[in-house]
Structure 1
């Protein structure tokens, strides 16, 4: 197009290497939503509202595309406050807080990848157990039952991180050769790191030996472990944090939460039980969960509520 003596050409949508410009990727990724400024500094309410919209976009985008990656990364930045909140529980730990936050961010990413917005569950309620669980696993993985050289301790951590990354990328647990290639090591060095992992925990002297079938009880042993990990124990911290917040809710709000998450009723079924419309129940749940989330992130009392 010629304007006067000057020639006007539309802005190029791709770079010289054929990859799309970042601005074009963001526009397509957001699908009409406003681009967030400084997601890590968003308020709790803004982060919650925008996260709901972005999760809907994430479902509509092709996994692995630049648009999908942008929305996913934005969700991580918007919800980093959840990681910081979870990390505050472990202030007394000897591990550096930076490491705890980094591990918690891995849990946040896993929660984002697994979250289903159609279930009607607040993302923070879904993500916090995953984030805290990742931190606790980190503490377990960095606790050694037998003293081993520092080099092998660091190698074991590198192997664990590389294994998780490769599993997420390829969809299967990596073998020794894949780990060696990822970490630029020899298979023998990887094997040494895997052997060092045996120093993480001590097994009972009565533990079965040479029997990989969990359904069998070998002769000559009681077939029992000295300790069994109970996943439900990890919920205790979360419930303990919620208890004072739940106590401040009125009877109707507690009943609605009990019906939704205790009896797992749908919003329509809850409406029939308490005599409200499905839309009213939806608004109540959004308000209640928002208050609980704000209370958890503020590490204190919930904000004053405005009745619907």
Structure 2
């Protein structure tokens, strides 16, 4: 598996500087961005040995859907600014590797383009100021085959970023035509999202499950589940929103302890060891964002496929070396915090 730092440098050599900085930047002075990956390294693995690990099975399920492993594709927008095939290439690679794709509502590929090549996929949704437009996006995605709606709650406003960047926002085809034909405040995130919007979105989608992304506290996780969410996702938006926010690796345990439903996590996941740490802390799955974008820039669909396969192989090796033959055997006794 190529190292994350090497992948970043390869992408930087290819991409225009403004595009590279857009993907790479965090908010504020990048406290949260900088802390994300090292936070996982605070957890040391405690292998159970000796064990027969002749056969190791990485497969698992997410909301009942069987997938090949615990590593999946987080939503990242504007993918055609890094590669002409954009989200369709990412969807194809996820399908080929048995991974789940979460499609950003800021996608530069249409629902039809993505659904034609995707395996299981979910829609990441913002509640927009124009709620009728939000309803249209969710209904169309459900009709196109989205198996869940991921409500993102940590972006009531777009935070100021640490680095200057520029790119062409007109590239590609948005997930619905209305996003290309409008340039007004209605297409941006609403600042008045509440727990009531969980049931609203579930109603729009015809009962498709709602996952709430952006949770960093146990009490918020419990409130979301009580309001109708079927899972929660620990995330600080890749360090792109509230700078100084707690790293996902540190927030995860409290969220897991607060609920019985599935918990997912992203933020600073760079190796299979990080994934096993996340599962040991109680996550059902780990999602990767920037690494997928860098791999897409470097190699298109082949690059993303190689990245996802590399993660799965790294997870398999780590499981074997810690004495686990299945995902269900990864438990809290496998890690200790430094």
Structure 1 length as normaliser, TM-score?
0.23
Q: Which has the higher helix share?
A: 1
Higher relative contact order (CA 8 A, sep 6+): 2
Q: Structure 2 length as normaliser, TM-score?
A: 0.22
Between Structure 1 and Structure 2, the one with more strand by share is 2
